[in-house]
Amino acid sequence: MKRLFISLIVFCIFTCLSAYDAKKIIRIGTDQTDLVLQVAPNGRLYQVYLGDKLLHDKELNCFFPYVKSGSDKSVSTRGWEVYAGSGAEDFFEPAVAITHSDGNPSTVLQYVSSEQKSIKGGIETVIRLKDSEYPVEVMLYYRAYPKENVIKTWSEIKHQEKKTIILWRYASTMLYFSGNNYYLTEFSSDWAKEAQMNSQQLQFGKKIIDTKLGSRAAMHVHPFFELGLEQPVQETQGRVLVGTMGWTGNFRFTFEVDNAGNLRVIPAINPYASHYELRPNELFVTPEFIFTYSNKGTGQASRNLHDWARNYQLKDGCGSRLTLLNNWENTCFDFNESLLADLMKEANHLGVDMFLLDDGWFGNKYPRNSDTAGLGDWEVMKKKLPGGIPTLVESAKKVGVKLGIWIEPEMVNPKSELFEKHPEWVISLPNRKLYYYRNQLVLDLSNPKVQDFVFGVVDCILTNNPEVAYLKWDCNSPITNIYSPYLKNKQGQLYIDYVRGIYRVLKRVKEKYPEVPMMLCSGGGARCDYEALKYFTEFWCSDNTDPIERLFIQWGFSQVFPAKAMAAHVTSWNKNTSVKFRTDVASMCKLGFDLGLKDLNNDELVFCRQAVVNWTRLKGLILDGQQYRLVSPYEGNHMSVMYVNQDKSKAILFTYDINPRFAEKLLPVKLQGLDSFKRYKIKEINLMPNVSSDLIFDNQIYSGDYLMKVGIDAFTTNRAFSRVIEITAE
Ligand code: GLA
């Protein structure tokens, strides 16, 4: 009798629990957006809503997109499952695919539990799923940042099978959309051609954006996209999702429109050549996917990401940034101690904070006088720089600027002592002729010894020279000759373990040298993701510093990254444009210079010095303000961007005429983000010496209302002409 009673109670508890769990709603919400998940009667987890914030909590459990319509009210097994597995009833692209140790290729995940807790800036939700037949567990993580309206999500996979299992799909997450039309904007790229925006409508089937480049992974396409719901993305209106993956290696975004016209978006590490052997109890952590949803177009979405990045992700996101003079475009490999000392004087004369010494300062047996030799041998080249880094630090100190140094520690030239000593540290196919990219090979970062070496490069420079104030970390080659001598018969892990190896090194660097700002560079902007940016204060957008091209490149990157993370230098690319134009273009991001002052005439020099003063005075506004992209270079002959500070008391407007047509109709630039009731004084700055502003608005006062509704006549029909306008509330 007693036994029967206990069984009855257990039965009741169990049925209550499963009834409760079957209705369980998990709400991942920000101030503007809700992502709602629900456990269906079959015990599996489904996405029931993603969109504008829902105002009535009671209605949260009104959704059942996973229930079949008509008389059959069973759970549909096609689509909407949050982390759909392979080999089951969903015939479209899965989030996870596993070959179990017994060879079974299917995965069906049941909901187990979930919890929510507060984290810095938001709420973290962790959901536990478990395969119904195998000891495989998946944890789904969601971090919602209410104020910034950003959600960051990733997954973890683990098992207790007796032997290794093979992972061949491992998405960070999976999101679903139901609509009539979906439009994708992608960001294609190449050397000197980064962040080119192209849009297309998604039709039935799959569109895949991926890369197989390994180390210089984002050279051909960047790890972010914009999705327009019902209409192509627009700047100030329409429902959009902007998403980006924090992974400095091969990534893959899959957009699949299914038979019912629903869209699933799957951000993941690219599984290409990457069947991952997961040992029992080993944790496979996917990269973070970060997204924001906006019903006010991409302008708002970008501002969400900018705010979030500064507050929570970017290294020293709330700190300041250093202006600099770099020597790469000016001297290339051709310099010596006294020339560098002169350049440091020029840096001081220009008024920038730092001199950045680029490639070519190392290698003795194989001197780094071109890109054909010396990479890997991180000892100062005695012939060029007999006094070593200490002398450079001294010269910099003497003229009151800081010193920064370029490194490319993941790479090696075959003509190097490192290669002679450690050929086994290099990714290279044992039985084929080696293929070189920029005359170099990639070190095998999956090997802990190589990780120690790479950390040692940085550690040695910074320990021996604690006054080195900045590093530019380059990566000029994709992974070639793909074979790891270290991983031996586990080659399927190389692309993934390489990236994890870099992160291990970067983590050590950040822990030991938390104060040292670092620029992420990859032959330009081929590394630009939010995981790397946990370790870097900024990235080099492109070797292409032609200001006209930069208008497009910077416009592209600004969709996802704040100006604070984007390094832009004034160089001699496109000398057909004025020094003022080049400087004004670089001034809308993190300003630097890379030219010889001797190439400038007196007026240009005076202008540049004043531009540095202006930028330094206004950098808080440019780097931390709200960015409004006003006029797109993709839509005509002009471009304009502005920044507004927190209390709307100050703004800065940049306007650029690219290649206007004769007698072209010019429209005023309508400002955004101001206070309609504040009155603002307009002042054109960054003018060449002895040139006064021809802006009729100059020195006048207008309400924010007027400036936003009527606008400023700032555009002209001059070629490559620019204005920088300071806007100050009375
Ligand atoms: C890459 C970088 C450049 C410069 C060179 C040096 O191309 O993008 O800025 O540092 O390497 O070799």
Ligand 1: which atom is nearest the Cα of residue 523?
8
Residue of 358, 407, 573 best suited for mutating to test ligand 1, as the one with most atoms within 8 Å of CB: 358
Q: Which of 576, 602, 625 is the last residue of a domain?
A: 625
Q: Among 182, 155, 450, 433, which residue's Cα sits nearest to residue 285?
A: 155
CA 245 to ligand 1 center in whole angstroms: 25
Q: Are residues 463 and 398 in the same domain?
A: yes
pLDDT in tens, 270-307: 999 999 999 999 999 999 999 999 999 999 999 999 99
Q: Are residues 94 and 243 in the same domain?
A: no
Type and span of the H or E element at 303: helix 297-308
pLDDT in tens, 434-487: 999 999 999 999 999 999 999 999 999 999 999 999 999 999 999 999 999 999
DSSP state of 320: -
| Residue 176 pLDDT exceeds 50 | yes
CB neighbour class for 680 (10 Å; exposed up to 12, middle 13-18, buried from 19): buried
Q: For residue 79, what pLDDT band results from cuts at 50, 70 and 90? A: confident
pLDDT in tens, 593-638: 999 999 999 999 999 999 999 999 999 999 999 999 999 999 999 9
Ligand 1: which atom is nearest the Cα of residue 540?
8
In a domain, 280, yes or no: no
Residue having the nearest C-alpha atom to atom 9 of ligand 1: 543
What are the structure tokens assigned to 399, written together?
A: 């003229």
pLDDT in tens, 365-422: 999 999 999 999 999 999 999 999 999 999 999 999 999 999 999 999 999 999 999 9
Task: Give the span between the Cα atoms of 33 and 295, in whole angstroms.
Answer: 9
Q: Are residues 648 and 573 in the same domain?
A: no
In a domain, 565, yes or no: yes
In a domain, 314, yes or no: no
CB neighbour class for 688 (10 Å; exposed up to 12, middle 13-18, buried from 19): middle
Question: Span 35-49, mean pLDDT?
Answer: 93
For residue 367, give the CATH number of its domain: 3.20.20.70
Tokens 């003018």 belong to 687
Q: What is the pLDDT of residue 290?
A: 99
- The SS3 call for residue 396 is helix
Cα-based torsion angle of the residue sequence 537, 542, 544, 548 in order, rounded to the nearest 10 degrees: -80
More confident position, 87 or 446 = 446
Task: Give the span between the Cα atoms of 186 and 206, in whole angstroms.
Answer: 14
Residue having the nearest C-alpha atom to atom 7 of ligand 1: 523
Task: Give the span between the Cα atoms of 558 and 563, in whole angstroms.
Answer: 7
Q: What is the pLDDT of residue 77?
A: 62
Instruction: Confirm if 41 and 18 have CB atoms less than 8 A apart.
Output: no
Q: Are residues 557 and 409 in the same domain?
A: yes
CA angle 351, 355, 356 (to 5 degrees): 145
Q: Are residues 341 and 267 in the same domain?
A: no
Q: Among 289, 256, 292, 271, which residue's Cα sits nearest to residue 79?
A: 256
| Residue 154 pLDDT exceeds 90 | yes
Question: Span 176-204, mean pLDDT?
Answer: 98
pLDDT in tens, 655-684: 999 999 999 999 999 999 999 999 999 999
CA 589 to ligand 1 center in whole angstroms: 19
| Residue 693 pLDDT exceeds 90 | yes
pLDDT in tens, 235-257: 999 999 999 999 999 999 999 99
Ligand 1: which atom is nearest the Cα of residue 543?
8
What are the structure tokens assigned to 354, written together?
A: 């730092």
Ligand 1: which atom is nearest the Cα of residue 358?
10
CA 155 to ligand 1 center in whole angstroms: 35
Question: Span 696-710, mean pLDDT?
Answer: 98
Q: Are residues 92 and 203 in the same domain?
A: no
CA 522 to ligand 1 center in whole angstroms: 8
CA 406 to ligand 1 center in whole angstroms: 9
Residue having the nearest C-alpha atom to atom 8 of ligand 1: 523
| Residue 69 pLDDT exceeds 70 | no
For residue 12, give the CATH number of its domain: 2.70.98.60
Instruction: Confirm if 704 and 672 have CB atoms less than 8 A apart.
Output: no
Residue having the nearest C-alpha atom to atom 1 of ligand 1: 523
Residue of 326, 413, 521 best suited for mutating to test ligand 1, as the one with most atoms within 8 Å of CB: 521
β-bridge partners, 405:
357, 471
| Residue 221 pLDDT exceeds 50 | yes
Q: For residue 11, what pLDDT band results from cuts at 50, 70 and 90? A: very low
CA 307 to ligand 1 center in whole angstroms: 29
Residue having the nearest C-alpha atom to atom 4 of ligand 1: 328
CA 156 to ligand 1 center in whole angstroms: 36
Residue having the nearest C-alpha atom to atom 12 of ligand 1: 359
CA separation (Å) from 128 to 25, 115, 138, 526?
Answer: 14, 9, 6, 35
Question: Span 539-544, mean pLDDT?
Answer: 98
pLDDT in tens, 92-127: 999 999 999 999 999 999 999 999 999 999 999 999
Q: What is the pLDDT of residue 70?
A: 65
Residue of 216, 335, 474, 572 best suited for mutating to test ligand 1, as the one with most atoms within 8 Å of CB: 474
Task: Give the span between the Cα atoms of 90 and 66, in whole angstroms.
Answer: 12
For residue 706, give the CATH number of its domain: 2.60.40.1180
In a domain, 156, yes or no: yes
CA 494 to ligand 1 center in whole angstroms: 26
CA 472 to ligand 1 center in whole angstroms: 9
In a domain, 432, yes or no: yes
Q: Which of 148, 170, 192 is the last residue of a domain?
A: 170
Q: What is the DSSP string of 37-83?
A: EEE-TTS-EEEEEEEEPPS-GGGGGG--TTB--TT--SBP-SS-BTT
Q: Are residues 528 and 575 in the same domain?
A: yes
Query: Parallel, antiparallel, or unpaired for β 45-52 and 96-99?
Result: unpaired
Q: What is the pLDDT of residue 17?
A: 38
CA 573 to ligand 1 center in whole angstroms: 15
Q: Among 37, 290, 313, 293, which residue's Cα sits nearest to residue 149?
A: 293
Give me the number of domains the chain comprises.
4
In a domain, 635, yes or no: yes
Q: What is the DSSP string of 676-687?
A: TTSEEEEEEESP
Ligand 1: which atom is nearest the Cα of residue 521?
8
Residue having the nearest C-alpha atom to atom 2 of ligand 1: 523
Ligand 1: which atom is nearest the Cα of residue 371?
12
How much is the pTM?
Answer: 0.96
Q: What is the pLDDT of residue 12?
A: 38
Q: What is the pLDDT of residue 88?
A: 83
CA 234 to ligand 1 center in whole angstroms: 34
CA 524 to ligand 1 center in whole angstroms: 7
Residue having the nearest C-alpha atom to atom 6 of ligand 1: 359
Q: For residue 9, what pLDDT band results from cuts at 50, 70 and 90? A: very low
Residue having the nearest C-alpha atom to atom 3 of ligand 1: 523
Containing domain of residue 229, as a range? 177-273+291-301
Mean of the per-residue pLDDT values for the chain?
A: 95
CA 286 to ligand 1 center in whole angstroms: 30
CA 474 to ligand 1 center in whole angstroms: 7
In a domain, 309, yes or no: no
Q: For residue 58, what pLDDT band results from cuts at 50, 70 and 90? A: confident
Q: What is the pLDDT of residue 14?
A: 37
Q: Are residues 570 and 452 in the same domain?
A: yes
The number of residues in the chain equals 730
Q: Are residues 528 and 388 in the same domain?
A: yes
Q: For residue 22, what pLDDT band results from cuts at 50, 70 and 90? A: low
Q: What is the pLDDT of residue 3?
A: 54
In a domain, 338, yes or no: yes
What are the structure tokens assigned to 664, written together?
A: 């072209």
Task: Give the span between the Cα atoms of 452 and 505, in whole angstroms.
Answer: 7
Q: Which of 170, 204, 230 is the last residue of a domain?
A: 170
CB-facing half-sphere around the CA of 409: CA atoms within 13 A: 27
Q: What is the pLDDT of residue 61?
A: 76
Q: Among 101, 255, 249, 285, which residue's Cα sits nearest to residue 175?
A: 255
| Residue 10 pLDDT exceeds 60 | no
Q: Are residues 618 and 642 in the same domain?
A: no
Residue of 476, 519, 594 best suited for mutating to test ligand 1, as the one with most atoms within 8 Å of CB: 476
Q: What is the pLDDT of residue 89?
A: 82
CA 596 to ligand 1 center in whole angstroms: 17
DSSP state of 275: -
Ligand 1: which atom is nearest the Cα of residue 406?
10
CA 565 to ligand 1 center in whole angstroms: 18
Q: What is the pLDDT of residue 18?
A: 40
Residue having the nearest C-alpha atom to atom 11 of ligand 1: 523
Q: Are residues 420 and 533 in the same domain?
A: yes
Q: Are residues 669 and 588 in the same domain?
A: no
Q: For residue 90, what pLDDT band results from cuts at 50, 70 and 90? A: confident
| Residue 28 pLDDT exceeds 70 | yes
High-pLDDT (> 90) share of the chain, %: 92
Q: What is the pLDDT of residue 364?
A: 98
- Write out residues with Cβ below 6 Å of ligand 1: 328, 358-359, 371, 406, 474, 476, 521, 523-524, 540, 543
Ligand 1: which atom is nearest the Cα of residue 522?
8
Q: What is the DSSP string of 71-127?
A: T--SBP-SS-BTTPBTTSS--S--SEEEE-TTS-----EEEEEEEEEEETTEEEEEE
CB neighbour class for 126 (10 Å; exposed up to 12, middle 13-18, buried from 19): middle
